[in-house]
């Protein structure tokens, strides 16, 4: 929740700059898109319709989270799979469907630039809604209509054809400003009407975001990584069961949760015949049908 509110606060001030300058998921789509210069053409009508899909996905994600009171989307989330891409076999056990979706959207991104960002990302949809009140905008004055900004825009919103660019779709990457050949500032990144230098805008949003994370981590409002097990054993705050990882063994899970081993077996509904050295995501090898994620949610 801390990270969510931080992201929304930055969005209210700087628009969807998180999507354009910070999001690692967007970065991989950006690189993938550069591998194939020729892209599939989508009609303007289809493009407009498809851009609403991410809002539908956002509504489903929020609705199901409200109903289930869990992070139910994690096993199906390509972003989560991307974040755990180096976790070995664990990713297949815990995020197999998300990994499949990730591979599909990466493949599609070869022919449709920023496909996920434009049409599917629920976080982008949420940031797009909040960016509507942001004072940050890409604005255009007299234009020679050379089309360079439109061709360079990763979101395909043609900034050279609008006096004020659609704030909900602009990701604040400043690419359109950089490629404009005019010697006078035809296309500008503005904050409350004041022109912002593209490089300073990008660096500023990045520094503010990660600086805020470092500060929040320092004061204890945000836990960036799982603490060493030794710190828990020495009296550190235990983790919520929802924060346990499948790669932890049963005995490690008990320590992290602040429970004695017998209580942890009972709470996690694990038969005592399962060795305590078994990783939590491997309990199903001993107990057919055991669902680590379902038990955590319960």
pLDDT digits (tens, 9 = 90+) for 42-75: 888 999 999 999 999 999 999 998 998 777 888 8
Confidence (pLDDT) at 199: 93
Mean pLDDT over each residue of the chain, to the nearest integer: 87
Using a 10 angstrom Cβ sphere, with 0-12 exposed, 13-18 middle and 19 or more buried, the burial of residue 45 is: exposed
Compare 170 and 293 and report the one with higher pLDDT: 170
Residues 103-132 pLDDT 10s: 999 999 999 989 999 999 999 999 999 999
Please report which residue ranges of the chain form alpha helices under DSSP H: 2-14, 17, 24-34, 44-50, 53-68, 78-83, 90-109, 115-119, 122-131, 148-152, 175-179, 198-219, 229-233, 250-257, 261-267, 292-297
Q: Edge to edge, what strands does the sheet with 187-191 contain? A: 136-140, 187-191, 194-196
Please count the other Cβ atoms lying within 10 Å of the Cβ belonging to residue 48: 10
Residue 228: band (very low, low, confident or very high) from pLDDT cuts 50, 70, 90:
confident
Please count the other Cβ atoms lying within 10 Å of the Cβ belonging to residue 227: 14
Separation CA 210–CA 23 (nearest Å): 12
Share of the chain above pLDDT 70, in %: 96
Who contacts 36 (Cβ-Cβ below 8 Å, separation ≥6)?
110, 111
Record the pTM.
Answer: 0.78
Is pLDDT above 70 for 145?
yes
């Amino acid at each position: 929740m801390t990270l969510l509110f931080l992201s929304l606060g930055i969005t209210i001030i700087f628009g969807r700059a998180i999507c354009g300058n910070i999001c690692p998921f967007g970065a991989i789509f950006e690189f993938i898109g550069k591998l194939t210069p020729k892209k599939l053409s989508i009609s303007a009508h289809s493009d407009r319709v498809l851009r609403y899909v991410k809002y539908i996905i956002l509504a489903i994600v929020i609705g199901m989270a409200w109903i289930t009171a869990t992070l139910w989307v994690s096993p199906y989330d390509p972003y989560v799979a991307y974040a755990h891409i180096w976790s070995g076999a664990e990713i297949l056990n815990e995020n197999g469907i998300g990994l499949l979706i990730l591979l599909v959207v990466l493949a599609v991104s070869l022919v449709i630039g920023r496909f996920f960002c434009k049409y599917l990302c629920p976080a982008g949809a949420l940031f797009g809604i909040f960016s509507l009140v942001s004072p940050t905008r890409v604005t255009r004055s007299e234009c020679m209509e050379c089309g360079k900004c439109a061709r360079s825009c990763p979101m395909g919103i043609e900034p050279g054809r609008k006096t004020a660019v659609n704030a909900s779709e602009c990701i604040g990457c400043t690419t359109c400003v950089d490629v404009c050949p005019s010697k006078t500032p035809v296309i500008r990144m503005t904050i409350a009407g004041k022109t912002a230098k593209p490089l300073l805008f990008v660096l500023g949003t990045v520094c503010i975001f990660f600086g805020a994370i470092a500060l929040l981590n320092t004061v204890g409002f945000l836990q960036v990584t799982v603490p060493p097990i030794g710190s828990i054993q020495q009296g550190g705050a235990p983790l919520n069961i929802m924060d346990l990882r499948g790669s932890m063994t049963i005995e490690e899970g008990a320590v992290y949760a602040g429970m004695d081993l017998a209580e942890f077996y009972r709470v996690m509904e694990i038969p005592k015949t399962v060795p305590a050295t078994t990783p939590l995501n491997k309990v199903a090898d001993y107990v057919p049908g055991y669902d680590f994620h379902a038990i955590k949610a319960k």
